[in-house]
Structure 1
Amino acid sequence: MGTAPALIDPFGRAVTYIRVSVTDRCDFRCVYCMSEDMTFLPKRDLLTLEELDRLCTAFVDKGTRKIRITGGEPLVRRGIMTLFQSLSRHLDSGALDEITVTTNGSQLARYAKDLAACGVRRINVSLDTLDADKFRRITRWGDLKKVLEGIDAAQAAGLHVKLNAVALAGVNEDEFVPMIRWAHGRGIDITFIEVMPLGEIEGQRADQYLPLSKVRADLMDHFTLRDSSYQTGGPARYVTAEETGGRIGFITPLTHNFCESCNRVRLTCTGTLYMCLGQEDAADLRAPLRASESNDLLNAAIERAILRKPKGHDFIIDRTTRQPAVGRHMSVTGG
């Protein structure tokens, strides 16, 4: 049941999935994502939670079936649970299939039960290492113990947890096998992600970049990997490890462009809609949202934006200029 997809891009793809960044702020400063001394948006520039609900609802009315709440770190946004509570009405009505969350896990011990009560069933937790010292070096400010307690709380609340691990050359590649065994031993899927060239950081992504084709080849020395048809609506391609029975996902924006079946757009906390993570083209939805209590202007702006959705991104790790492919940080667009 539900509304038929009303947003079709120029390549015939139905846009049924929106990722919504509710804040660009984060309580971590991961070395591949942010600079340590970040300048965040003034709070006055952010959409209110009520405005974010109105925007999400406009997309639901146009056939969106899945909403993922992201940041920055979404659970540091003041009052964020009121947005989840409000959006849950679309789950109750059947207009929406699911609301999911991507989080660093730092606030999960506090919010896991509340998320489950709002109808959230699946969450992604970003976790690149199980070594506490290395975790601190990667996140700069993070506490691994709090994240692991958050994962415990999420599972106790009945949430299905998936781990996202960014593959970092010379940093965590020696941990992938034990991380897989740890995750699968808890009934948790794990997805590996290539570092994405978004935003200026202190280090060089050319030095961080580890192709997942190599990761997968190395894993085959330890596991029998079988291709899986399992999908979550995102870009990951999954295999099953026969020895554990668990799933391993690979998100490969660089070694294998995953754009051909893209059904996603990204909304920032300021009301900017990015039709593609890897392109700068964007549409301002805040102005039409605030121009009228009616959604006529907003709906027209959404429809025009979808007609500009590109076929795919052009991510590369530029080893010549060593500049990011896209100037904005991932925390701006939403993870």
Structure 2
Amino acid sequence: MLTDNFGRKFYYLRLSITDVCNFRCNYCLPDGYQCDNDRNFLSLPEITRITKAFAQMGTEKIRITGGEPSLRKDLPEIIARCKQTPNIKKVAITTNGYKLPEHIDNWLDAGIDAINVSIDSLDPRQFHAITGHDKLTHILKGVDMALASGIQVKVNTVLMREYNGYDIQSYLDWLKDTPVTLRFIELMQTGDNQEFFDAQHIQGSRIKQNLMLDGWLPVIKERASGPAQEFYHPDYQGKIGLIMPYSKDFCSTCNRLRISALGKLHLCLFTEQGLDLKSYLQHDDVEPLKARIAAMMQDKKATHFLQENLTGATKNLAMLGG
């Protein structure tokens, strides 16, 4: 079992398969994707070896991320390889939803268990202003298709003071009859968004307080769940999650590790650097890879250092998929 020096066990792997994204979200890639590496992204055999190694070390859940993972034509094969790996119980994907209506059936056939879709506003004009794309209706159609299939659907919304911070009620109205889990995510400071962060950051604790006053109740978490605090209300079909990385003890229940699209292990989203595993991914014997991962775990810190304005090597969230 993958365990760090603080007794935390790691059941959850976030696996990035590309850092390319076709959106220009103002909090992540306001100038669009900038190619600043060799784009030697993980191959299908390398992904298979990573998945096998982590599964043998106790990982139960894999989330496929980007960039935008649907930009890879072999995404269905990647989903299938992860799903077919012994000990992997759940395979999920985080997507901007741009290709969701066209590809949802292929992902389902490959074995996907859950989909997270990023929707930062339910107002088409505001959505366009945030992402640079007039695709809200198209993406919501994909969400409806996913829900109709019976798959678990979550919607990610990054909170921003001037863009959606005063429009929480529209999301609550939507959740009355829409059985998704909507996760409000606190805007996080990265290497290139200091000014934007200072102007737009909203504390999720305020929303939590209002939810509790309005009768929302905590949901018991599974051990492979992500960092969100989730809440339900008997009058709503949907649930609400809050991801508050600046809250006290946020890192105490950390259960996830990250692999970048370039084959580097990131012990934290805001670590100083990724630890290169590429040389261990070139043959089918995963025992040396497992030994290397276990050794690297000794360097995992007790917490991120966001409160001290230290963002490590994370220039933008597309680098690792959040």
| TM-score, scaled to structure 2 | 0.92
Gapped regions of structure 1 (runs ≥ 5): 1-5
1:34–1:200 Cα contact (<8 Å) kept:
no
Q: Whole-Å Cα distance in 1 between the matches of residues 280 and 319 of structure 2?
A: 21
Partner of 1:16: 11
RMSD of aligned Cα (Å): 2.1
Q: Whole-Å Cα distance in 2 between the matches of residues 38 and 113 of structure 1?
A: 28
Q: Whole-Å Cα distance in 1 between the matches of residues 270 and 311 of structure 2?
A: 11
Task: Report whether the alignment pairs 1:132 with 2:103.
Answer: no
1:31–1:201 Cα contact (<8 Å) kept:
no
Q: Whole-Å Cα distance in 2 between the matches of residues 246 and 55 of structure 1?
A: 34
Q: How does 1:174-189 map to 2 (within 5 A)?
A: 174-189=166-181
After the TM superposition, which of the residue ranges 54-63 and 240-249 deviates more from structure 2? 240-249
Partner of 1:3: none
1:311 to 274, 288, 302: 302
Task: Report whether the alignment pairs 1:81 with 2:76.
Answer: yes
1:155–1:161 Cα contact (<8 Å) kept:
yes
Amino acid at match of 2:171: M
Q: Whole-Å Cα distance in 2 between the matches of residues 100 and 47 of structure 1?
A: 18
1:238–1:247 Cα contact (<8 Å) kept:
yes
Partner of 1:30: 25
Q: Whole-Å Cα distance in 1 between the matches of residues 259 and 126 of structure 2?
A: 32
1:73–1:104 Cα contact (<8 Å) kept:
yes
Q: Shift in Å at residue 174 of structure 1?
A: 2.4
After the TM superposition, which of the residue ranges 267-276 and 201-210 deviates more from structure 2? 201-210
Q: Shift in Å at residue 219 of structure 1?
A: 4.6
Partner of 2:316: 329
Q: Whole-Å Cα distance in 1 between the matches of residues 287 and 218 of structure 2?
A: 45
Q: Whole-Å Cα distance in 2 between the matches of residues 263 and 202 of structure 1?
A: 28
Task: Report whether the alignment pairs 1:71 with 2:53.
Answer: no
Partner of 1:58: 53
Structure 1 runs (4+) deviating above 6 angstroms are: none
Partner of 2:135: 143
- For residues 239-277 of structure 1, give each alpha carbon's deviation from its aligned partner in whole angstroms, at most 9, with x where no partner exists: 223432532111000134421111110000000110111
Q: Whole-Å Cα distance in 2 between the matches of residues 44 and 208 of structure 1?
A: 32
Q: Whole-Å Cα distance in 2 between the matches of residues 237 and 114 of structure 1?
A: 31
Q: Secondary structure at the match of 2:84?
A: helix
| TM-score, scaled to structure 1 | 0.89
2:285 to 283, 294, 298: 294
- For residues 267-295 of structure 1, give each alpha carbon's deviation from its aligned partner in whole angstroms, at most 9, with x where no partner exists: 000001101112224311112223x4432
2:154–2:182 Cα contact (<8 Å) kept:
yes
Count of paired positions: 321
2:246 to 235, 240, 254: 254
Q: 1:256 to 1:128 in 2, by over 3 A?
A: farther
Q: Secondary structure at the match of 2:257?
A: strand
Identity of aligned residues (%): 32
Q: Whole-Å Cα distance in 2 between the matches of residues 79 and 228 of structure 1?
A: 35
2:4–2:298 Cα contact (<8 Å) kept:
yes
1:264 to 247, 252, 256: 256
- For residues 278-334 of structure 1, give each alpha carbon's deviation from its aligned partner in whole angstroms, at most 9, with x where no partner exists: 2224311112223x443233222111112222111111385xxxx856542111122
1:289–1:297 Cα contact (<8 Å) kept:
no
Q: Whole-Å Cα distance in 2 between the matches of residues 185 and 249 of structure 1?
A: 17
Q: Shift in Å at residue 115 of structure 1?
A: 1.8
1:162–1:191 Cα contact (<8 Å) kept:
yes
Partner of 2:220: 229
Q: Shift in Å at residue 159 of structure 1?
A: 1.6
- For residues 218-238 of structure 1, give each alpha carbon's deviation from its aligned partner in whole angstroms, at most 9, with x where no partner exists: 4567x3222232446100011
Q: Whole-Å Cα distance in 2 between the matches of residues 316 and 110 of structure 1?
A: 41
Q: Secondary structure at the match of 1:173?
A: coil
Task: Report whether the alignment pairs 1:196 with 2:188.
Answer: yes
Q: 1:43 to 1:77 in 2, by over 3 A?
A: farther
